[in-house]
Structure 1
Amino acid sequence: MRAVLVVNPKATTTSERSRDVLVRALRSEVELSVRYTRRRGHAMDLAREAAEEGVDLVVTLGGDGTVNEVVNGLMTAQSPTFRTGETTAERLPALATVPGGSTNVFARALGLPREWPDGTSMILEGLRLGRSRTIGLGRADDRYFTFCAGFGLDAAVIHRVEQSRRRGRVSTPGLYLRSAIGQYFVGADRRHPTITLERPGEPAESGLATVIVQNTAPWTYLGDREINPNPQASFDLRLDVLAMRQLRVASTTRTVTQAFSRAPDPRGRQVLRLHDVGEFTLLAGRPQAFQLDGDYLGEREIVRFASVPAALRVIC
């Protein structure tokens, strides 16, 4: 089996020594080539090149941002072995994800351990046993995502966190909480929501202040704790949506508390939830912060979402 390991050398929870250990372990099972990212977006190019070379497996070592880039590289590759009738998952290399970031939502949602040595052991076992599963993805305009997207408040919070990290702050649950509180009380326009959700054959839902889109559950983690606005979301189904109308203190606090609970089921007059949705469009009266898989991608006024079933085969 030919494989490529795409390494983000800035991955927060690994070192050069641990990468060497990982490479030796993988080479005990596969014929391995190692490629390092040098800039944002480079993992996408490396994954696309690997798929077009006809490798059987692409392994990532990095966080959710690295995984997202690799997935987009795979999904936009021109496979040299395409045969009529093949699904996307059948014609592309399999994906394996070694957790190397601060949160690793995608890997943990697949059931992989949080720490990279344990995750590596599980992946090696999966390779020996031929264990894999096929998952669906989400697509926002021309970019794919694995576990979540956000339009509005949550994306603005991620932007704040990224700005803090560029100033040298360490990514911690506390940093996310402080950023969320600051954005809610200072940066958010809570009283004049302008987002509209449109989907085929259904009435438009207007007056939305922020929208969370999930391709699986949980949405994210705060340390070891799952946060689940849409607990029924699944890699095996289409997309789930939670939107909030006016971000009043009482209703927002109630919804956040419900999402944090051990049996999450957010409800209320200010909450809109949609389950297993194939496609929809978000439109805003003014530019809104936008994120995919925890990476801030700037501001948008319109984003078209679609579910992409049976898109990738993953080793887990």
Structure 2
Amino acid sequence: MDTSHATDATDTTDPAVRRFEAICVIFNPHSTGDAPDLAAKVRDQLSQDLPYTPRIRMLPTAHAGHAVDLAKEAAGTPNALVVSVSGDGGYNEVINGVMSAGTTDTVCAVVPAGNANDHHRTTARKPLAAAIAEGRVREMDLLHLSTGDGPGAQSVYAHSYIGFGLTPVVAIDMEKGNKGALKEMVSVVRTFAKFRPFRIQHADGTRAKVDSLVFANISRMAKYATLSEAQERPADGKFEVVLFPHTAKWKVLLKAFRAATTGLGDQPSVSSYEFTALKPMPYQLDGEVRAVPANTEVRIESAPSALTVIG
């Protein structure tokens, strides 16, 4: 759906300032939240407030995973901005679609909709319409996860975090409407009933039983949980590793409470991390649940400045 056709891609001597020829707004029209209304507001505001006239396309998704295809197609348009009106999971699909397009000058942005909006909450600098009018873009690192070889191999990107074990499960549970550290603590206790630690083998051959292992490209999850003291606008080619070795549950509760109140403090910062999943393991990728089979090598790498963003 095009709302305008005239284009004024103003030349500039500053490569960080952009005037977009096309703006593609991707949203779920059947969202239980406010995504359709927010998408319409984005379209109307950009049509009225921008100092130039890009072609604005409304791209509703038809099924789970459709945003990947829509974003990949949109990234084939020169000088395009792809706006995801979604939570963290929807934005994850968009960035994976753009990354699958290969070399592209596409810029990405997210308008928060739904419950999980950790990425926007942690990285946003100014209202999107004002940022687009100003046109100043910046680069952002991504996390890249690759597993195994052959037909079952996975290769996928995350904008915020990749987590195995307890911490990401609790974080998603916290995001389902609870507010305040006390209620978050209740979420932690409830999640304990169905949680079991997992075993991994590190790259040096040593094995460990772990309660939680999170690779974080942002410093905060689920509104109140502060994972590390990482910079909130990540572009340093590294990510933080937050590891909870298996211990008594009351000690894990204390760590979780600390994350929800004062934060966990400094965490190791690396550019890559490898381990082998000794048993089938679910994991959270920007809030979306996936899994790796037993005896699978898992590699997490920073993709430095892989994505250009605005907002």
Place the TM-score, normalised by the shorter chain, in its bin.
0.7 to 0.9
Residue aligned with 2:163, SS: strand
- 1:151 and 2:159 aligned: no
Q: Is the 8 A contact 1:233 1:239 kept in 2?
A: no
- 1:253 and 2:256 aligned: no
1:216-235 matches, cutoff 5 A? 216-218=218-220, 220-222=221-223, 225=224, 227-232=225-230, 235=234
Change (3 A) 1:12 1:233: farther
Q: Is the 8 A contact 1:139 1:306 kept in 2?
A: yes
What percent of counterpart residues are identical? 23
- 1:96 and 2:112 aligned: no
The one-letter code matched in structure 2 to 1:134 is: E
Alignment correspondent of 1:19: 39
Residue among 94, 106, 110 paired with 1:70: 94
Q: Is the 8 A contact 2:24 2:56 kept in 1?
A: yes
- 1:132 and 2:137 aligned: yes
Distance (Å, rounded) in 2 between the aligned partners of 1:62 and 1:249: 35
The one-letter code matched in structure 1 to 2:62 is: R
Alignment correspondent of 2:57: 33
Shift, 1:131, TM fit: 2.1
Shift, 1:304, TM fit: 1.3
Q: Is the 8 A contact 1:57 1:93 kept in 2?
A: yes
Shift, 1:285, TM fit: 2.2
1:227-306 matches, cutoff 5 A? 227-232=225-230, 235-237=234-236, 238-262=238-262, 264-265=264-265, 273-275=267-269, 277-301=270-294, 302=296, 303-306=298-301
Distance (Å, rounded) in 1 between the aligned partners of 2:273 and 2:264: 24
Residue aligned with 1:189, SS: coil
The one-letter code matched in structure 2 to 1:259 is: A
**Mind listing any 5+ residue stretches in structure 2 that lack a counterpart?**
1-20, 147-154
Residue aligned with 1:188, SS: coil
The one-letter code matched in structure 1 to 2:262 is: R
Shift, 1:102, TM fit: 1.1
Shift, 1:33, TM fit: 0.7
Alignment correspondent of 2:309: 314
Give deviations 1:70-91, integer Å, cap 9, x for gaps. Answer: 0000001044xxxxxxxxxxx3
Distance (Å, rounded) in 1 between the aligned partners of 2:169 and 2:260: 20
Distance (Å, rounded) in 2 between the aligned partners of 1:231 and 1:12: 34
Distance (Å, rounded) in 1 between the aligned partners of 2:168 and 2:29: 25
Q: Is the 8 A contact 2:227 2:263 kept in 1?
A: no
The one-letter code matched in structure 2 to 1:107 is: H
Deviates most, 17-26 or 58-67: 17-26
Change (3 A) 1:213 1:10: farther
Residue aligned with 1:209, SS: strand
Distance (Å, rounded) in 1 between the aligned partners of 2:289 and 2:102: 27
The one-letter code matched in structure 2 to 1:313 is: T
Q: Is the 8 A contact 1:196 1:208 kept in 2?
A: no
Residue among 191, 194, 212 paired with 1:187: 194
**Mind listing any 5+ residue stretches in structure 1 that lack a counterpart?**
80-90, 113-118, 163-169, 267-272
Residue aligned with 1:52, SS: coil
The one-letter code matched in structure 1 to 2:196 is: D
Alignment correspondent of 1:47: 71
Change (3 A) 1:189 1:171: closer
TM-score calculated relative to the size of structure 2:
0.78
Distance (Å, rounded) in 1 between the aligned partners of 2:264 and 2:144: 26
Structural RMSD (CA): 2.7
Distance (Å, rounded) in 1 between the aligned partners of 2:254 and 2:171: 21
Q: Is the 8 A contact 2:35 2:113 kept in 1?
A: no
